[in-house]
């Protein structure tokens, strides 16, 4: 077969039960290979794949069809907020600035594509004017947590010779430490401007948005002699969609 089916359940859930395995056998999946018992397995795609996917819709798991050709990717390009970390940094900044609810509302609408990304980020950053820059370091220490599996993903990609880039519509004050903690090869994000230790409510131009994420993907590919088919891209919001579509394998993570 030209493709494999990968079943993915929530980590630790054990949702891929013997009943699910029995369903696979009915569709010729006798050679299923466990990637993590109870949580992930793969098998050669059967001829009756549409019917199998309809049956699997009744179970709490994702069913992903992946081509066998060029399956091992050579570039990982990942979003940061709610992807490689558990939080949205601008929302956390809003909380300590006393405008958390206003910023979270704008963030939610922007992530769902209801607002233009550039307009939304400028509006939110303006609400942070006057916030002490030291709050960023406090948030990194006390409120920002690395997403489950992220460190293993980066380490696995690099162990197989892949290049890794953290590309965020967020802020470089956060991507720098996060990239270092996860061992990304490079990182790119927007820069919060400050004066006398206070945020000015403005960003350095140009703003890194969805187009810039695609441009980063293309630039890194060109520099390293890679094709878009060699790329694994991971993100969660509307501004990540062009990047996910441009990659050979795009993963919408808790999108």
Measured between alpha carbons, how far is residue 19 from residues 25, 86, 116, 182 in Å? 10, 32, 45, 37
Which is the catalytic residue, given 39, 81, 230, 236?
81
Q: How far is 124 from 174, CA to CA, in rounded Å?
A: 16
Residues 167, 213: contact at Cβ < 8 Å? yes
Measured between alpha carbons, how far is residue 154 from residues 53, 91, 130, 163, 226 in Å? 30, 25, 36, 9, 18
Residue where the block lists tokens 């809003």: 94
How many beta carbons lie within 10 A of that of residue 100, not counting itself? 15
Residues 77, 251: contact at Cβ < 8 Å? no
Please confirm, yes or no, whether 30 is among the known catalytic residues: no
Which is the catalytic residue, given 57, 62, 79, 91?
79
Please confirm, yes or no, whether 79 is among the known catalytic residues: yes
Task: Give the residue numbers annotated as catalytic, written as ranges.
Answer: 79, 81
């Amino acid at each position: 077969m030209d493709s494999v089916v990968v079943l993915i359940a929530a980590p630790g859930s054990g949702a891929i039960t013997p009943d699910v395995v029995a369903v696979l056998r009915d569709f010729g999946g006798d050679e299923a290979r466990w990637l993590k018992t109870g949580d992930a397995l793969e098998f050669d795609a059967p001829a009756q794949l549409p019917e199998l996917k309809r049956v699997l819709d009744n179970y709490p798991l994702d069913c992903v069809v992946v081509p066998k050709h060029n399956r091992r990717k050579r570039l990982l390009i990942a979003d940061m907020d709610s992807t490689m970390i558990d939080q949205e940094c601008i929302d956390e900044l809003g909380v300590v600035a006393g405008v958390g609810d206003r910023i979270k509302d704008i963030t939610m609408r922007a992530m769902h594509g209801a607002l233009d990304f550039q307009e939304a980020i400028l509006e939110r950053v303006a609400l942070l004017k006057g916030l002490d820059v030291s709050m960023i370091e406090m948030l990194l220490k006390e409120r920002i947590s690395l997403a489950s599996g992220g460190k293993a993903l980066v380490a696995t990609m690099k162990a197989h010779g892949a290049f890794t880039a953290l590309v965020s519509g967020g802020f470089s004050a956060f991507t720098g430490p996060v990239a270092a903690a996860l061992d990304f090869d490079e990182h790119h994000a927007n820069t919060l401007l400050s004066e006398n230790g206070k945020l000015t409510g403005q960003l350095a131009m140009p703003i890194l948005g969805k187009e810039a994420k695609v441009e980063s993907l293309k630039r890194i590919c060109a520099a390293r002699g890679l094709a878009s088919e060699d790329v694994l891209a991971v993100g969660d919001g509307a501004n990540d969609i062009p990047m996910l579509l441009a990659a050979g394998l795009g993963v919408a993570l808790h999108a």
